A and B are shown apart, each in its own frame.
Chain A
């Protein structure tokens, strides 16, 4: 979801007899729910997969600031503007918690950011969609952050200690994001005029399917799931999380007085779950390949921020050196 289709580089999960004694001890530790810490021995594939997963997660938080930043200067009131800025600052914070966790695996932050700029590392597909109206700020908080919460809550128990601790911090803050988003929509639906209500429905119509895609392809098409589950860096299947999200979201959708753009959506009395229509995975894979509506714009904006901020970072070092020399004198 925030990390989609993370490659493990492993063709099939090793059985205990195929493992070296170090691998067996490592797997036993994971099976016993004992966290793996930076200095513990770990298989190279575990380290690399985690770097890919955590960096992708971090890049998503950072790129995720862009669609929201689009509305800071146009927020309808000062109150909404302050809330939006606080949320965006949180996303930056979440990105930094995650980059720190990634660095404990020996990865270099600059190099990993560079990989994203070169298109070698991904970020969540959802941030390649444009934010066209103010209601999109509500929909992102409610649905996008809502989907993120469903994914991140189980990741608090992930096997890698620093990742788990970063997730615990992130989850504490996400609930503000979701509630502020839902409140934006509720306010528009309850106090708004017809045009404002239509704006909410239009926003939900555009984001509904891309949000469901955030959880990644169906279990049958997730070749990396088995290894990631064995390592406990993924704790539930994509379909399971998607179902959990839909079941908790539909009642909230009804309270808003809105609908989902899915004619096949219906409640199954027997299973107690909502059934949903076919997801257009062609669109998902196109967006991942870089052909979504905003891929080029997002990456270009991130590169620009890094390049044009270079002088600030250099000046900070020059100033720190000067201060040090003055103190030494």
Chain B
């Protein structure tokens, strides 16, 4: 197991939906990772497509950057539709 690679597994549960992260598997290569992910994460029709990505290839945001990255959008309420008040006679827009 030590010389196997850790892969993150993403599954598209239905046509038209995004692939979603479901967990990880160990495998000797990406082809085997797909096979293992099939056996582990889709035993009951959970998916129509699988992606596997070596865990080491994923770059993620750091937890201590959370405020710096995401807080700036907090005070931009004008980016939401509800910010704009329109008279009732306009109807649904």
Contact = CB atoms under 8 A, between A and B. Distances in A.
B32 A316 contact: yes
Interface residues of A, number: 26
B25 interface: yes
Interface string B21-44: 001111011011000000110011
Interface in B36-62: 39-40, 43-44, 60, 62
Given A39-B63, A316-B32, A109 B26 contact: yes
A313 B1 contact: yes
B24 A103 contact: yes
A324 B29 contact: yes
Interface stretch (A90-98, A189-197, A276-284): A90-98
Contacts of A319: 28
A320 B28 contact: yes
Contacts of A40: 63
A86 B39 CA distance: 11
Contacts of B3: 317
A108 B6 CA distance: 12
Interface in B1-33: 1-4, 6, 23-26, 28-29, 31-32
A173 B46 CA distance: 12
B28 A93 contact: no
Chain B contact-residue range equals 20 to 34
Interface in A293-326: 313, 316-317, 319-320, 323-324
B25 A316 contact: no
B25 to A, nearest CB: 7
Interface of B: 1-4, 6, 23-26, 28-29, 31-32, 39-40, 43-44, 60, 62-63
9 contacts: A97-B23, A97-B40, A100-B25, A103-B24, A108-B2, A109-B26, A317-B4, A323-B31, A324-B29
Sorted from nearest, which 5 A-B pairs have the closest CB atoms? A320-B29, A320-B28, A316-B28, A100-B24, A317-B28
